[in-house]
Amino acid sequence: TVLGNMSDAQLTAVFPADHFGENRSTLHALLHLQAHLSYHLGQLNYLRRLVAMPVPPASAWLRTRPASPTGPR
C-alpha cells in the first residue's frame, strides 16, 4: 500500500498545502481526507436508502382521515 511504503519522515513532513494558514503533517492531511470521504460515503448511503424506500399507493393516502381540530372524542 502507499501508506505502508511511506517512511516516518515522509508522514511527519509538513504537507505542501496549508490548512487555514496552519502547517499540518502529511499524516494529519491523509487522516483528515479519509474522515472527510467517510462522511460523504455515509451521506450517499443515507440517500441510497431514502431513494429505495417504497412509496405507498395513492389509495393509502385517501383512506387516512385528517385529525379532528377538537381532538379525539
HEC profile for 43-61?
HHHHHHHHHCCCCCCHHHH
For 3-47, how does the pLDDT look when each residue is reduced to its tens digit (9 = 90+)?
A: 889 999 999 999 988 878 888 999 999 999 999 999 999 999 999
Residue with cell 379525539: 72
* pTM, rounded to two decimals: 0.63
Residue 71: predicted pLDDT: 62
Q: Which residues partner with 25 through β-bridges?
A: 14
Residue 29 exposed, middle or buried by CB count within 10 Å (0-12, 13-18, 19+): middle
Cβ-Cβ contacts under 8 Å for 17 (sequence gap 6 or more): 29
User: Is pLDDT larger for residue 68 or for residue 18?
Assistant: 18
